[in-house]
Amino acid sequence: MYGKGLRPLSIATVAAIVASLSLVFFYAPLDADQGFIQKIFYLHVPLAIVALVGFVIGGVFAILHLRSGNSKWDAYSYVSIHMSVIFGVAVLLTGSIWAKASWGHWWVWDEPTLVSFLIVFLMYATYYPFRYAIEDRERQARYASVFAITAGAFVPLNFMAVRMAQSLVHPRTFGTANGGLPGEMMLTFLVSLVAIGLLWTTLVKFELTAKSASGQLKRLRRALDAPAPGGSSRVAPEVS
């Protein structure tokens, strides 16, 4: 059931990525200051936006999990956060490359968004050791949901505080000296954003499908191996 829709989604994702790459390399104009390396912006910023949205989505699933007690929401929450953390690594790497190209250093503390993102990434990276240190399965899921909600509340506060701590604000990518992003760049950016968003969604769906399949397999194996108890039949319920 998870697998349904995976193929059209994958196709759409590939198409969007191809479109985005074409635009980035053949359509978007070269930036006057930063040159070719500026094009990494079309990868870095969409990755960051999608990762952050993914964290928020993970928090929303966590709320649904606590309210309903249905463990499928916990699976959704876990995979959303998982994928966003992976995308987060990519954000930091591409951000570092961009920093090196633009300002000559592999890391800059002057860019508040990058710094905020680092802190958010560090926060969510603790999700795994935290989660796996709790042995009881149901309790683990509940605590993980509380973590996801707490971390979700933390994200906007963090961005605000870091922004306020900067006395010097670097040129924002959307507000360049000429005021605003030129039309071609904006189009390329939006298409890239859609492509990365679709990529995230496809990978999440893919991981959920894989998890559900392996879970079903485990259950069937256990049901077959377990000796039949007197009277009752206890075949595992289907994952729906």
Q: Site residues (CB under 8 A) for another protein?
A: 66, 119, 122-123, 126, 129-130, 133-135, 137-139, 142-143, 145-147, 149-151, 153-154, 157-158, 160-162, 164-165, 219, 222, 229-232, 234
Between 233 and 240, CB nearer to another protein: 233
Size (the chain), residues? 240
Please identify, using beta-carbon distances, which residue of 143 and 206 lies nearer to another protein: 143
Helices (H) and strands (E) in the chain, counts: 7, 0
Amino acid at the residue 231: G
Beta-bridge partner residues of 31 = 35
Instruction: Find the shortest distance in angstroms from Cβ 116 to another protein.
Output: 9
Nearer to another protein, 172 or 234 (CB): 234
Residue 130: CB minimum distance to another protein, A: 6
SS3 of 92-109: HHHHHHHHHHHHCCCCCC
Beta partners for 35?
31
Between 41 and 124, name the residue whose CB sits nearer to another protein: 124
Q: Write b or e for each residue in 56-72: b if 16 or more Cβ atoms lie within 10 A of its Cβ, otherwise e.
A: bbbbbbbebbbeeeeeb
CB of 122 to another protein, least distance (A): 5
